[in-house]
Every structure is written in C-alpha cells, then in structure tokens.
Chains A and B, each alone.
Chain A
C-alpha cells in the first residue's frame, strides 16, 4: 500500500465517511439494501424458501410425475416444458420465478403426481409454495393444493 493511498483512506475514514453517513444516507442499512436490490427481483431467501429449494433439488428429471399430472389443460408452450420444470427450470432463480407464474398456477392440486416420484419430491407442496412466491406471497392466492388421499397410488 502506498503512502498516498493510506493517507487518502485515513481521510475517508475520519472525515468523508462520517459526513456521508450523516448527510447522504437515509434509512437503515437494511432499508437501503432492500431498496437497491428488491426492485430487481433480488430478494432475500427465507429459510422457508430454502427448505422448498432443498426439497425441489431432489428432482432427477425422470418425468414419472408427468404421467399423473393434469396440467394438460395448460397452454401448449407450458405443457411442452412438462411438470418437472417446476423443480428445475422455474425454481432455481427467484428473480425469474414471476415468469413462471402462469405455469405454476395451472396446477390443479390434484396430487396425481406425488405418489409417482422416485426421489420423494413433495411435488404439490413445492408447486404451491413456488406459485405463492411467484405471486408475491399474497396469502391465499393461488389456491393451496389440497392433498386428497383418494388420489394416491392404490
């Protein structure tokens, strides 16, 4: 480190930085951080989100769940992606999750898929949680999938 650089940093530490804090900074650090990044979709990952991510990551893209899924009514472009896109494509980058809202909403909550997953992904729970998050975590929308035991493997 050169002497000049040292002197400059000392000046910053003693004069400029305290002044900046005093005059230019509004709100708490957290508020400023959120204001800077949340508008770009870079929101904090809560422990609940992370738990969903850990469950979704168990998907090995085998496609078995799709055979029991009623998403067929969905838009063809969404259907072409298939159900497991929910765990792989949509769920990996929160910043892009809103783009998948339509696809996630198409889930009828029928649980036809769940008993088919070899690695035990709790499919409806993951889809529901992602759909809610895609909608900005508005409680109650879209519908919470209601697991009906009748739809399970005989």
Chain B
C-alpha cells in the first residue's frame, strides 16, 4: 500500500494532550508503539495546582498525627474499596496495583520538573492556608512539604502584592503544628522589581533573569534569620521555565531551602506542567497534531483533525472533563468528539438515561457535598474501554483515560492527576500491546 500524502499512520492515536493523554502517549511510545497526539488546546492539566493528588484517604481522621498519613497507593486502595464508581475501582485490583509503577513512570518522564515519589504523601500548602496531600510534586514545592520541613517555616509574601496573604497562609498552616507540622511564621519582603499590577506569570518571568532570584534570596535572609527558619515558603511564582532554576537560586542566596505553595487559577506551576508534557512528547518522538476531533469515526478508520488525516488501529480518548471539553452538557450530557454514551449517577441510580436529567436534580444544595453532575463522564471496563448502558465495550480498540472517565469529581476529590496518570499509563501500555 502506498502511503497517502498527508496521511499520518500510527499504531495509536491519542485525543487530548493533558496529563492523561500525554501519559498514554508516552507509555505507548515507551513500549515501542508509534503514536500521534491530537489536541485542541491546554485543558485542566495546565490549570491545575501543579502537584499530583492521588487519593484522599477516606479512613483518615481529621486530627490524627500527620506522620500517620497513609501512602498514596494505600489510600487509593481504600478509596477504590469504598467508591465502586471511582476509576480506581474500575481498573480493577490488577490495574490499581500498578499505580506505584505509573507514578514512577510519570516522575521519570517529567524529570527534572517533578521530584521523585516517596513512600509517604507530601503535605503541601495552598494559598488559602490549607494543606493538601500530593503523591508527586514539582521540585519547586518539595522543600515546603510540611512533613519534611526542619525547624520553623517562614511564609513570606511580597510587599505591594496583595494577592498572596502570608499571614493567612501562616495562620492556616499553624493548625497543623499540634499534629506534628512545623512552627510557622510570616513576613513580607520587597521584590527586586516594582510592578503591583504584574500577573502571576509575569512575576514568574521577572524572577528568571540573572540577579533577580538572587536579590530576592538575599532579602529573605533578614526575616528568615529573625524567625530562625528552617525553610521558606513563597507564592507560586518561582519561574516559568524550570531551567532558570529560580527556587534553587533563591535558596542558595537565602542560605536555606525555599519552596512555593500550590497555586489556584491562573497557575504558574500548571503552566510548567503543561510545558514539560509538551516538551517530553516532542523528545519522545510522538507526532503532534493541533485541532479538534469532532464527529470522529471509529478506530482503524482515517480521521481528519486540524487538516491532518490520521489513521491508527487503536484510539485513546483523553479529552478531559468539562474544562478540557471531553464532556459537555448541552441540555443533556454528551461526549462531543465521538458521541459516546455519558453516564451520571443520582442517589443509588446510575446510567446513561440520567444524562438528560435537569442540572438541579444532578446536584445537591450543599456545595461541599459530592455533585453527581460534576462527576459525570464515561464508564469504562477494567481494560479502560468505554462501555454502553449495558456495560458492553463500545469498540474493542477504543480506550479512555483521565478525566473523561466519570465517577470522580476531578476538580475536588483530590485524585484528578492521579487518575490521569494511572489510566493514561494503563491505556498507553494496553494500546501498545494491541498495536504491536
């Protein structure tokens, strides 16, 4: 067969380039398959706080010592046991068993952005003064792990910038001190440049040029010395490009470990994660297509995306949830790219037929309670094949990964990037086996 001009023939086509799509592509590539990734734009991954949440521990009690925090993999097992709808349960015991391997794979692929995984979770601060657990984090955050800080932690804001309130963060973190967290203090230092209107990514860039990070580090010596601090926690703007080594340079000048908090939106760490994934895909030799897959046929058939015609025996749909655009509600819940059945759950009832329910009946009044509407998505079998209402795979060589799979609220249940990594990794490996 002579190759058609403009036709991209690969073993695996991945739709979506967030954490799930990128992991799927890299895992398949790593296993020897040829891969193309098509995506429209950044999604939830680029907006995330930048650290990988794997699982909340449903069995933890709110005031147990921090040192008792269970390993991420163990927490995920407990979660799967309690929530049969969760993707961790859907992949089965065998699938979940590979979570540790998937996390190590992700950390290796995203070297040097991510710090290697530990047996225990890391406990990282948010700009609202909460601590959340993460299985993986960026190196820029590592020194802020409340379980690793030796000596008091100085939370330091920037004078003239009201967006980060060091006193609020410090007071929030002080709640963890009785449970074994560090003593906390707060201060403000002047930035070596003056621009109160700067947006987070602009601040991050401004810290990159030679001298800037160093001057900030020098300035930190005074409040850090006053507190006798063991580490310093700064706003999440420590450089856009990890190669600029902003945290390391600040730390060298300050003479002690320096970290940034997690971020809310807009998220510089999220942007770093997005950039690192893109760079890694390039290096790994994955073909990149920019465009939207819409009304696509089935695996094995040619599909046109953004002007490129792609043919692949296996497809992995990793198009995210509502922010990514993988699932949408247009009067009813739909999966726009392939038209797959979307399932929702309401009370004990679950299924495709609920996709037409009004928004009011798929949500509950208590905002903090789990919201069925926001955890709607595809259902998959243990091989990650999307299934229809009767539980039968829609297509033997169509897989799904990441937030497009429902059963968890990617935004709030603390397992978003963890699910993306595990399901992406498993789908990629499985696809490579089929493709080969």
Q: Does A31 contact B (CB under 8 A)?
A: no
In the bound complex, residues from chain B placing their C-beta under 8 Å from that of A63 are 199, 265-266
Query: Which residues on A sit within 8 Å (CB–CB) of B265?
Result: 62-63
Q: Which of B37-45, B180-188, B348-356 contacts A (4 or more CB under 8 A)?
A: B37-45
Residue A47 CB within 8 A of the other chain: no
Chain A contacts of B46 at CB under 8 A? 64, 118
> Are B41 and A72 in contact, CB atoms less than 8 angstroms apart?
no
Beta-carbon contact of B199 and A82 below 8 Å: yes
Name B266's contact: one of A62, A117, A152, A153 (CB within 8 Å): A62
How does the 8 Å CB contact mask read for A120-154 relative to B, with 1 for contact and 0 for none?
10000000000000000000000000000000111
From known contacts A63-B266, A64-B266, infer whether A153 and B290 are also in contact, taking CB-CB under 8 Å: yes
Contact check, A60 vs B323: say whether CB atoms are below 8 A apart. yes
**Which one of B41, B271, B324 has the greatest number of beta carbons of chain A within 10 Å?**
B41
Q: Is the C-beta of A119 less than 8 angstroms from some C-beta in chain B?
A: yes
| A-chain residues with CB within 8 Å of residue B290 when the two chains form the complex | 115, 152-153
Nearest A residue (CB) for B41? A118
Task: Please give, as numbers and ranges, the residues of chain A lying within 8 Å of B41 by CB-CB distance.
Answer: 64, 115-118, 120, 153
Select from chain B the residue with minimum beta-carbon distance to A84. B266
Given contacts A116-B41, A120-B40, A152-B290, contact A66 B197 (CB under 8 A): no
Indicate whether A67 reaches chain B with its CB closer than 8 angstroms: yes
Q: Is the interface of B mostly helix, strand, loop or mixed?
A: loop
Whether, in the assembled complex, A88 has its beta carbon less than 8 Å from a beta carbon of chain B, the answer is no
Q: From B197, B271, B325, name the one whose CB has the most chain A CB atoms within 10 angstroms.
A: B197
Interface check A27, CB cutoff 8 A? no
Q: Interface residue count for B (Cβ, 8 Å)? A: 23
Chain A interface extent, by class = 20 to 34
Q: B254 CB to closest chain A CB, in angstroms? A: 27
Q: Is B64 an interface residue (CB 8 A)?
A: no
B119 beta carbon closer than 8 Å to chain A: no
Question: Is A66 a contact partner of B42 (Cβ separation < 8 A)?
Answer: no
Query: Could you tell me if A72 and B202 are in contact, using CB atoms closer than 8 angstroms?
Result: yes
Residues of A with C-beta under 8 A to B202 = 72
Q: A118-B41, A153-B290 are in contact. Are A66 and B199 (CB under 8 A)?
A: yes
Contact B201 A62 (CB under 8 A): no
- Which residues 198-213 in B have Cβ within 8 Å of A in the complex? 199, 201-202
Instruction: Select which of B42, B195, B197, B282 is within 8 A of A64 by beta carbon.
Output: B42
Minimal beta-carbon separation of A103 from chain B (angstroms)? 13
Distance in angstroms from A85 CB to nearest chain B CB is 12
Flag whether A80 is at the interface (Cβ < 8 A): yes
Docked pose: A62 CA to B200 CA in angstroms: 13
| With known contacts A62-B265, A66-B266, A118–B197 Cβ distance under 8 A | no
User: Which residues of chain B are within 8 angstroms of A62 by Cβ–Cβ distance?
Assistant: 47, 265-266, 323
At the interface, yes or no: B215 with Cβ under 8 Å from chain A? no
Q: How far is the CA of A80 from the CA of B195 in the complex (A)?
A: 10
CB distance from B142 to the nearest CB of A (A): 24
Contacts of A64 in B (CB 8 A): 41-42, 46-47, 266, 271
Any B CB within 8 A of the CB of A76: yes
Which residue from chain B places its CB closest to the CB of A121 in the assembled complex?
Answer: B41
Residue from B47, B201, B292 within 8 A of A66 (CB atoms): B201
Find out whether the CB atom of B266 lies under 8 angstroms from the CB atom of A118: no
> Bound complex: CA of A64 vs CA of B45, how far in Å?
12
- A64 and B40 CA atoms in complex are apart in Å by 14
**Are B201 and A118 closer than 8 Å at their CB atoms?**
no
Output the least CB separation between B36 and chain A (Å).
15
Asked if B280 is at the interface of the complex by the 8 Å CB criterion, the answer is no
Would you list which residues of chain A between 34 and 48 have a CB under 8 Å from chain B?
Answer: none
The CA of A112 and the CA of B266, in the complex, are separated in Å by 17
Chain B positions within 8 Å of A120 at CB level: 40-41, 292, 325
A63 to B47, CA, bound (A): 9
Of B197, B288, B325, which contacts A80 at CB under 8 A?
B197
B47 proximity list for chain A (CB < 8 A):
62, 64, 118
Q: Which of B40, B282, B292 has the most CB of A within 10 A?
A: B40
Nearest A residue to B292 by beta-carbon distance? A120
Closest residue to A82 on the B side, CB-wise? B199
Q: How far is the CA of A152 from the CA of B323 in the complex (A)?
A: 21
Interface string of B362-388 (1 = CB under 8 A from A): 000000000000000000000000000
A63 CA to B44 CA, complexed, in Å: 12
CA of A116 to CA of B47 in the docked complex: distance in angstroms?
A: 11
Compute how far the CA of A97 lies from the CA of B138 in the bound complex, rounded to whole angstroms.
42
Closest Cβ–Cβ distance, residue A50 to chain B (whole Å): 19
A124 CB to nearest chain B CB (Å): 14
Question: Which residue, A62, A76, A117, has most C-beta atoms of chain B within 10 A?
Answer: A62
Which one of B271, B278, B282, B323 lies within 8 Å of A118 (CB-CB)?
B323
Cβ contacts under 8 Å, A76 to chain B: 195, 197
A to B CB contacts below 8 Å, 14 in the list: A62-B47, A62-B265, A62-B266, A62-B323, A64-B46, A64-B271, A67-B201, A76-B195, A79-B197, A118-B43, A118-B47, A118-B324, A120-B292, A154-B278
Closest 10 CB pairs of A and B: A63-B266, A80-B197, A67-B201, A76-B197, A118-B41, A153-B290, A118-B43, A117-B41, A64-B42, A62-B47
Extra A-B contacts (7), CB below 8 Å, given A66-B199, A118-B42: A63-B199, A64-B42, A118-B41, A118-B47, A118-B323, A118-B324, A154-B282
